[in-house]
Amino acid sequence: MSERTFLLLKPDAIQRGLIGEIISRFEKKGLKLAGLKLLSVSRELAEEHYAEHKGKGFFEPTVSYIMSAPVVAMVWEGPEAVALCRTMMGATNPKNADPGSIRGSYAVDISRNIIHGSDSVESAVREIALYFKSEEILDYAKAGEEWLSE
């Protein structure tokens, strides 16, 4: 069964020139890109995105960081997309991330860990709605989809 997830390339990924490299990994895995945009995150959007962390010591530095440079917001689609993308991203703390994962390959510090991904289908729905209007998400047949799963 196909599902959608939200991924966000953080300022460190953009500043280090990793956009194409990271997107390529998800494409090569067979996931379908359904939405993509480069944007600057406003304080309002940052606070809404990280709302569950409000009051924690890392909230303000995290909000400030996500606003510090452009980000790339993406919607990816595929079978069990949330879990699959989380595995590909690696552990939140790069020190614990598998070497072949995105964070294991490119990140060194937990506060500069390259990428954010929804942790559940419910979170994906909420986060996608924060960054995308419904008409910005495309539904289309991807050539070769029939070869990826039953």
Q: Is 58 annotated as a binding residue?
A: yes
Q: What is the pLDDT of residue 42?
A: 97
Q: What is the pLDDT of residue 45?
A: 98
Q: Is 43 annotated as a binding residue?
A: no
Task: Name residues whose C-beta falls within 8 Å of residue 73's C-beta, 6 or more positions apart in sequence.
Answer: 6, 7, 8, 35, 36, 37, 39, 131, 132
Q: Tell which wins on pLDDT, 79 or 147.
A: 79
Q: What is the pLDDT of residues 19-65, one digit of tens each?
A: 999 999 999 999 999 999 999 999 999 999 999 899 998 999 999 99
Q: What is the pLDDT of residues 59-103, one digit of tens each?
A: 999 999 999 999 999 999 999 999 999 999 999 999 999 999 999
Q: Is 26 annotated as a binding residue?
A: no
Q: Which of 3-7, 13-17, 19-23, 55-59 has the lowest mean pLDDT?
A: 55-59
Known catalytic residue: 49?
no
pTM: 0.94
Q: What is the pLDDT of residue 150?
A: 76
Task: Name residues whose C-beta falls within 8 Å of residue 24's C-beta, 6 or more positions apart in sequence.
Answer: none
Map out the domains of the chain with their CATH numbers. Answer: 4-41+71-138 (3.30.70.141)
Catalytic choice (116, 117, 124, 132): 116
